[in-house]
Amino acid sequence: MGCYIGQVRAYEGVPLEQLAQGLCTKSYLCRVENGEREAGKLLTDALLQRLGKPVELFDRILDWDEYQQWLRRQRIWRHLSAGEVSLATAAMQAYQAADVLEHQFLQTAKLNLRALQGAAVEELRDLALAALLLTQPSRIDHGEPQLLSQNEGWLLLTYLELWEQLDGLEAVSGDYQKLLQLLCQRRYDARERVYLFPYVACHVIEVEFRQGHLAEALAICERALRELSQEKRLYAYGRLLEWKQRLFTALGRTEQEPQQLLHWLNVLQAQGPAQVKLLVPYMERGNVYCLNQVIQGRRKLLGLSQEDAADGICDVSTLSRIENRRSSLHKKVRKSLLRRVNMSGERYDYEVISDLYEDYILRSEIGRAVLAYDAFQAIPLWEKLAEHTKREKTNLQFLSMSKAMILECLPPQHPKYLLPDCEVKLLKGSLSYTLPLNLDEIGTWRSAILSTNELLILNGLARCYKTLGKLEKAQVIAAYARNCIGSADANPIYYEDLYVRLGLQLVSIWGDCGYYLESNNLARECLRVSLECQDSARLAMLCYNLAWNLEQQMKSVSAEVKTEMRRTALSYLQQAYAAALISNDTVGQAHIRVHCTEVYGIDMSLDSKF
């Protein structure tokens, strides 16, 4: 990870001292980049975010103590999000901050706590500034370019919003515009910018609107909506739609699509969990695992005894202490044990591990091409990546898996188009790099912490077997993958996209099997998770599956019940269509329109009345 950070910093032309400022010493960061020191999760998160790179690309494998500290932070945030003031206070008092970023975390939590307790705006503004100054001795002054982590960005925006409440918009309009300009800098990956950009955009839109710059305001609004659709996120989406409709009216335009889309967005969001709106959002993104649990669970899954796992690495008593959370690991021992259980060996795991930053860029470009169903763009990128990637198990697994994903995107008439039975063979071979087990016996496999690649491969296999009509096999595979997420032995907190992706596969399989109650319950749970995490990627498919299940159930009910179910199914289809528009899912939009025409004889649109 340190090498990666150093390569990104050099690529972006960011001075070492500027990146380290307020977070750590220049010499410490130099040792991190050279691989001499391993930085903790909060520091690596902040460094990557200051460089404008998304942290959720990496799976975090934390040792026992750091994992417990991470759990304590999550507990504090859950209490705050639920409005549980007394529980949050107790959890904060028990939290032992060891460095400046942990102190900033506590200050941010205190700021939210005081807001829940009804503190005055002046007090909240001072708390926000104090928390920000812990790592940012100077704010965006004199037009100097700054580097902001996600939490620093939120604290700065909150400070400006509280200042605006006290002194009016004119007092902070220039600061809002500077912050927006900073987020628009080239180094910011859209996947990282999207968490803050839409909220800042809303303030700048208001500034431009008040100054009569309607065209400029609309351009900012449409860019923010476009980036949200591209990144499949819902941050401030409703506020931006309100602004777009207001700007249309001010410009004399008669379109009503923003208002119609806002209506269906509100219907969708009503299905999400009720949460307290915190003054400063806080999130530690990405998959997080406990190192001790990874080693123990995967060792048992692979059928290795402690003697086999420890052979040539450490003595058995050391491994036993590690698995029982009574011993920390030396870097070399940790790396060797992780590789023994067929992981990459890194504390910060990724789909492909490389010494070259360019390989990570290639990986991202391949992913975007696959999401756009553009195999012809993805193939040369894949070939370039395959040329010089290290020939290690996890890398070979990724290359094999991504090849299957790419070939599946080819037109069906293309000679290299991957048929489901051929894809099964390719994916099974890919899985065997790290899980050399008999897939036919997956129903007896132990639950363990699986890598992102392994889970995606299992998801692909379940989809292929479903397509081939082998529903029982598809169900067993999908259920195993999902059980690994929820397993008490594993106990990782998985990135919500992966959780919902695996859940959606099981929703579809259960629906095909006629298990409508189970399918609907899981679909609604996945909807709640997606909406809680502001993720729009699979909302359309979840709503479509709910409608499809109802359509199957309508075949065996009375006419009166059928009428009500038909109305509900059409409502879900309209929500699915709106979600497909929000996430710019053109394939989904076309599929829903065709379905509505064939099944109901209607033309689906946002203003359809059923």
Name the pTM for this structure: 0.91
Query: What residue has token string 């025409």?
Result: 597
CA pair distance 1, 57, nearest whole angstrom = 12
Domain ranges across the chain: 58-269, 520-610
Contacts of 317 (CB under 8 A, 6+ apart): none
Per the structure block, which two tokens stand in for 344? 């990459």
Q: What 8-state DSSP symbol labels residue 493?
A: B
To the nearest 5 percent, what fractions of the chain are helix, strand and coil?
70, 0, 30
Residue 488 pLDDT > 50: no
In our burial notation (b when 16+ CB lie closer than 10 A, e otherwise), range 140-164 reads beeeeebbbbbbbbbbbbbbbbbbb
Sequence-distant contacts of 248-255: CB under 8 A, at least 24 apart: 250/209, 250/214, 251/214, 251/215, 251/218
- Res 462 pLDDT > 80: yes
Q: Is the pLDDT of residue 143 over 80?
A: no
**pLDDT for the residue 111:** 98
Q: Kindly list the distances between the CA atom of residue 371 and the CA atoms of 557, 576, 584, 594, in Å, as whole numbers in the listed order.
A: 39, 18, 11, 22
- In Å, what is the CA distance from 359 to each residue of 35, 388, 399? 19, 9, 12
Average pLDDT of the residues of the chain:
91
pLDDT at residue 494, rounded to an integer: 60
Tally Cβ neighbours within 10 Å of residue 62.
21
With cut-offs at 50, 70 and 90, classify the pLDDT of residue 139. Answer: low
pLDDT bucket at 492, cuts 50 / 70 / 90:
low
pLDDT digits (tens, 9 = 90+) for 408-453: 899 989 998 889 999 999 999 999 999 999 999 999 999 999 998 9
pLDDT tens readout for residues 509-525: 999 999 999 999 999 99
- Max mean pLDDT among 28-42, 202-216, 529-543 falls in 202-216
Strand partners, 348: 60
The CATH number of 58-269, from 1.25.40.10, 1.10.150.120, 2.160.10.10, 3.90.1170.30, is 1.25.40.10
Any idea which of 24-38, 40-54, 358-372, 508-522 has the lowest mean pLDDT? 358-372
pLDDT band at 610 (very low <50, low <70, confident <90, very high): low
What 3-state class would DSSP assign to 60? strand
Question: Measuring CA to CA, how many Å separate 545 from each of 455, 463, 519?
Answer: 22, 15, 8
Give the separation between CA 39 and CA 539, rounded to whole angstroms: 36
62: CB partners within 8 A, 6+ apart: 41, 70, 288, 289, 290, 291, 347
Q: Hey, what amino acid is at 600?
A: Y
Chain-centroid distance, C-alpha 477: 23
% of the chain with per-residue pLDDT over 70: 97
Among the listed residues 489, 428, 480, 487, the one whose alpha carbon sits nearest the alpha carbon of residue 300: 489
Read off the pLDDT of residues 82-126 as tens digits, 9 standing for 90 and up: 999 999 999 999 999 999 999 999 999 999 999 999 999 999 999
Closest C-alpha to 427, from 410, 407, 447: 407
